[in-house]
Structure 1
Amino acid sequence: MNSITPFQTHASTPEQVAFHRTELNEILSIYGRMVAAGEWRDYGISTLRDVAVFSVFRRTAENPLYRIEKRPKMRNRQGQYAVIGIDGQVLKRGHDLRMVLRVLERKLIRAVE
């Protein structure tokens, strides 16, 4: 008789990093304001093994203008949240998502003539 080997689900299935509901509320709040201002038009969410990414697009077929990333492995170093520009440059990194997203809110403020 053959012996039955149980599946090891915890070791074989990789965990995915995802945004929590409160984190998505913060991101979608600024996203809504930028859409209302006519700056952004589309977004995409990717949940990968090591990172969750919220990508912001001006048009659907373009490269993302900004990527908001969550990397839990960076929690104890520079912070798990980052805003990355179209050229790959890290615009802001930190432990508090609201503070990191402030770099995008500056784009919303315009001079009124």
Structure 2
Amino acid sequence: MSNVTPFPLPAAQGAGAAASQIGFDRLELQRIMDLYGRMVAAGHWRDYALDLGREAAIFSAFRRSAERPEFRIEKRPSLRHRQGMWALIGEAGNVLKRGAELQGVLAPVERRLLKIIGE
């Protein structure tokens, strides 16, 4: 019971190699899921999906399960020094907002939530 067996590292991954999978840290995911929960409570979103890949981590929010996501929140660390690693992408695939801070990228969705609640 006291033996700890480490997971084997892929051959390409070693000292100084890039991570094989991009993910959200705890605070980022907490902020995203908080927004998702408020949109669900408002009756606007019903489903979500997470895609954690080699180049990006993507959170997709759906109005219904059987359609394209209304919004995608993408984290691409490779763009950190260029356009910012965060992007908010609309249903048609257009980039709505891009930046270095998650809070600023989520602002358009936050404003939409205020309009939905106000109706």
Identify the TM-score tier after normalising by the shorter chain.
0.7 to 0.9
List alignment gaps of at least 5 residues for structure 1.
1-6
The question of 1:40 aligning with 2:58 is answered no
RMSD: 2.1
Q: Of the two, which has the highest radius of gyration?
A: 1
Aligned match of 2:33 in 28, 40, 47? 28
Q: Which residue of 2 aligns with 1:66?
A: 71
Q: 1:10 aligns with which of 9, 13, 35?
A: 13
Stretches (4+) displaced over 3 A? 11-14
The Cα shift of 1:8 comes to 3.0
Deviations 1:51-96 (A, max 9, x none): 0000000011111111000000000011000000000111110000
For the residues of structure 2 that align with 1:76 and 1:13, how far apart are their CA atoms?
16
Instruction: Report 1:87-102 matches (<5 A).
Output: 87-102=92-107
Using the size of structure 2 for normalisation, the TM-score is: 0.82
TM-score, normalising length from structure 1?
Answer: 0.86
The alignment status of 1:19 with 2:32, answered yes or no, reads no
Q: Higher mean Cα deviation, 83-92 or 10-19?
A: 10-19
Higher relative contact order (CA 8 A, sep 6+): 1
How far does residue 101 in structure 1 lie from its aligned partner after superposition?
0.5
Tell me how far apart the structure 1 counterparts of residues 91 and 45 of structure 2 sit (CA, whole Å). Answer: 13
